[in-house]
Chain A
Amino acid sequence: MRKIKKVLVANRGEIAIRIMKTLKLLGIGAVGVYSEADKLSKHISYADEAYHIGEPEALKSYLNMERIIDVAKKANCDAIHPGYGFLAENHIFAKMVEDNGLIWVGPPHDCMRNLGDKINSRIIAQKANIPTTPGGTIEDLDKAHELADKLGYPILIKASAGGGGKGMRIVHDSKDLEESIKIARKEAQAAFSDPTVYIEKYIEDAHHIEIQFLLDKFGNGLYFPERECSVQRRYQKIIEESPSPTIDRHTAQEIGQAAILIAKTAGYYSAGTVEFIYDKKEKKYYFLEVNARIQVEHPVTEEISGVDLVALQIDIAEEKPLEISQNELNLRINGHAIESRIYAEDPDNNFMPSIGKIEHYREPTGNGIRVDSGFFKGSEVLIHYDPLIAKLIVKAPNRTMAIRKMYAALSDYHIAPVKTIIPLLKNIFQHEKFVNGDYNTRFIETYAADLFNTKKDSKYVSEAIVMFNYLKHKKHQAEVDEYSQSLQPYWDTIGYWRG
């Protein structure tokens, strides 16, 4: 066992804050880093000490490995927590951290390298006898045609190194295959500096199901109830919930055990997530990939299980064994949790990032409402980084109540003047299909007409304007009283004065 006393959090925004909060609970010093553009950002105020690491562009700051390691050493840190994004899945950085005598709060770097490659990770899954989506690598065009025909159209072309939908293409007809492969390769090259692509069967009623797991260095593993992350726009999740309304408890257990098996096969420790595609029609699951880091949607799991995943990451990094068994964990699971990602994007304008200063900001509060945010009133949504303002997580005894709580919380979330996807989220939580748990990864594109139909309420617009102007001048009596009480007498404010 080793003791971590001070951790550098190599990240920004809500995840940096979230990690620092746990560090404080553990009595561990939190060191923050910030780029030039972030010198007034919220995450700095949560750090015990903070260091400037470079220019606004991520490459010159949050991705600047040498600089971050220098700062960690200068500040006498004994570990680095990468959060998600930026350097979180960079195995070269993970190795560099350890080569510099620091602890990497995450999985072993060679394991990260193996899992980072999609083809490689499929091989690992296959080794563990976990089904992978039917498909394979593209050696030449003939073989590709042969494979595609065998799988049956439509098929999916994916970048081997990729994620986030880049380099991904759906092909409906064999005549488009050649062209699609060419484009996919070009995109993959541009995005990941690696043109390798592969073919997969395209599953029509696909669900994104993932398993959060923990493995310590002694071979003890825990898997958590699945998260369903099927509400996506442009292959990016915007809503996650746990447990999933799609699969039954038996399947959940099966998938959970599969996740542990894959992770053990890969020689993994720390927290991680195995992503699966679930074919609802066929009731089959396929391994997709392993996310070797803490994920954006981890709070959903925390809410229904009561564990602090970051605290357990630290425990594992300190080489402590996991203290609870799978059975004990299962007994702790209760209720239903949902997360909404509050992006500063305009849903009515093709999710264009909406940058600028947040002039008005009010978060919802209440029992079972958690906001992991990286912003406050006066913060700027910066062009340089991901426009995620916050994550709104609700927990309730069951799914119906959780959906209602989420809708109420979204209605109480006031952000202006930057545009956010809150209106879209509210439409989703009111949508019959979502409420019934009848949705898959194509939910948003299928029901776009319902979800983006903002003109629905337009007949009330003029009434709303009249009401707004009326209310602007009309204050609640308690507010008026508080206001006039807040007016200090001149005698009390002028200070020393002798005329």
Chain B
Amino acid sequence: MARIISNINVNSDEFKKRYQFNKKKVEEIEAVRAELSKGGPPKAHEVNQKRRKLFCRERIEKVIDKNSPFLEIAPYAGYDMYNNDAPSGGIVTGIGKISGKDVMIIANDQTVKGGTYYPMTIKKHIRAQTIAIQNNLHCLYLVDSGGVFLPMQDEVYPDKEHFGNFFYNQAVMSSMGLLQVAVVTGLGTAGGAYVPSMCDQVIMVKNQSAIFIGGPPLVKAATGEEIDAENLGGADVHTRISGVADYLANNEEEALKKAREIFAHLPKQEKFKLDRIAPQEPYYDTDEIYGIIPEDLSIPFDIREIIARIVDASEFEEFKPLYGQTLVTGFARLGGYLVGIIGNNGIIFPESSQKAAHFIELCSLRKVPLIFLQNITGFIIGKKYEHQGMAKDGAKWITAVSTTNVPKITVIVGNSYGAGNYAMAGRGYNPRFLWMWPNAKIAVMGPKQAAEVLSSVKIAQLEREGKQLSQEEIEAIQKPIIEEYEKKSTAFYSSARLWDDGIIDPKKTRDYLILALEIALNKKIEDVKFGIFRM
């Protein structure tokens, strides 16, 4: 492989300006994340401490292996939604090592409305289970939830990917041989009772946790029976009388230790043997990424400059470097692992589509995972390209990216507009993980284009009514559209709604990718079976 030759001038004013801008963006997302990590309001924490209960993030720190990473999923869920009442969506999810095993941890945040499920809490819980299913991960549920957030029951209870889907997933995962463990540290009420009940092994904490289909108030209302939580469905009841739980712990620490023991006695996971050599740090400083991404994403930049600051030794074996040049494809090493990389260098043409499909076929047959680096405004339009069959070439790419057998990991580094998002393994194409950079944008089209399309419809309507619009009037129509689009295409907007798995510091992209890649290897890469490629 050959080292990428960088053409970046780190002493240029442009570089310095961009560096400052992106650095600030990163500080901004980190400040938000730090705030979200605090969970619910101080008052809720006080109550929690009074009950001598740990905060859900403390539980995670205690249960995972010392001095090991925690790959948090969707920390920005629910941001700027529900009056900011559900920081991180009221649930903390992520992958950690427990007794050496890769485990998806799903932890209710009891300081956020008693750990109840908002729509985004539901989405995040299911996203975590989906990652576990796709990557063969065991699950640990740290249960401390009052069930669904009743005021929004219509958005969390009935639909396919709502509350009920949790238990379905647990049953499916158990059948796949993935261990489901619950540590009940608070309440598991009603539907919440089934999270632990559906687990293989359940630990309860004495005088602290309780599981019941109906809590004491409901029991009293329905039957007149007066009983407290501990006697109705406490740890003693379930470990001695009902058998709903398996282990009785005297306190949370003991319960978390027990969970570690359970994972310790699990057979070791065999990972898929992906070709690997000794890892090397990139030749170019990853810090320089800040100086490359333009403030205004309509200004193009060479994606190779980004690749050079992510991959081992900055070495890249480019495939078809002279053909379909708006797409960059090639092989590289990440942490020593062989990967295929697809990045955008402009709008998609029929040639670049064919090249992408070809390259995905190569990687699929060779079982080489794919990394997508999105900076895409869309497919080329116009008579020439429609006649050339842009749509069928795009279809080839979509077929390849949909039916490939290899793990895909996507990072939106710049724009993610239109069908380009799809072809480049957007959320709908089941990449194992998808992250955004702080300045990245995601929407069906750019704000300006959207405003022009929408305003032209309006203008045509008015013209039919015989009205002529001045430039000012047109701008007045366009302005709110642009503002609306700009607001709804930011990384924060996307991440709050789980269109991605988080906003990440561009400098840490390499870490994220290698960690994710090793997680993806828990699932064997099967032989490829593509669909029809329209010719």
Contact = CB atoms under 8 A, between A and B. Distances in A.
Given A490-B335, A490-B518, A494-B511, A499 B276 contact: no
Which of B68, B97, B277 lies at the interface centre, i.e. has the most chain A CB atoms within 10 A of its CB? B68
Nearest to B96: A491
B70 interface: yes
Contacts of A496: 67-69
A474 to B, nearest CB: 16
A484 B271 CA distance: 13
B68 A490 contact: no
Contact of B336 (A487, A491, A494, A499): A487
A498 B515 CA distance: 11
B515 A494 contact: yes
Interface in B486-535: 502, 504-505, 508, 511-512, 514-515, 518
Contacts of A498: 69-70, 72
B279 interface: yes
Contact of A490 (B504, B505, B514): B514
A366 interface: no
Nearest to B517: A490
A245 B514 CA distance: 67
Nearest to B69: A497
Interface residues of A, number: 12
Query: Which size bracket describes the interface of B in this complex?
Result: 20 to 34
Interface in A79-103: none
Interface in B58-80: 67-72, 75
B289 to A, nearest CB: 16
Nearest to A496: B67
Contact of B70 (A484, A490, A497): A497
B279 A487 contact: yes
A27 interface: no
Interface in A453-499: 484, 487, 489-492, 494-499
B241 interface: no
A490 B67 contact: no
Which of A490, A494, A496 lies at the interface centre, i.e. has the most chain B CB atoms within 10 A of its CB? A490
Nearest to B521: A489
Given A498-B72, A499-B71, A491 B97 contact: yes
A295 to B, nearest CB: 47
A52 B277 CA distance: 44
A277 to B, nearest CB: 59
A491 B276 contact: no
A491 B67 CA distance: 10
Given A489-B518, A499-B502, A499-B508, A494 B69 contact: yes
Nearest to A484: B276
A491 B70 CA distance: 9
A491 B514 CA distance: 9
B232 to A, nearest CB: 38
B278 interface: yes
Contacts of B336: 487
A496 B69 CA distance: 5
Nearest to B276: A487
A195 to B, nearest CB: 64
Which of B69, B276, B512 lies at the interface centre, i.e. has the most chain A CB atoms within 10 A of its CB? B69
Nearest to A483: B278
Contacts of A487: 276-279, 336
A491 B278 contact: no
A495 B278 CA distance: 18
Contacts of B335: 490
B56 to A, nearest CB: 15
Given A496-B68, A497-B70, 11 more contacts: A487-B277, A490-B335, A490-B511, A490-B515, A491-B68, A491-B518, A492-B68, A495-B68, A497-B69, A497-B511, A499-B70
13 contacts: A487-B279, A489-B518, A490-B515, A490-B518, A491-B68, A491-B69, A491-B102, A494-B515, A495-B69, A496-B68, A497-B69, A497-B511, A498-B72
**Closest 3 CB pairs between A and B?**
A497-B69, A490-B514, A490-B335
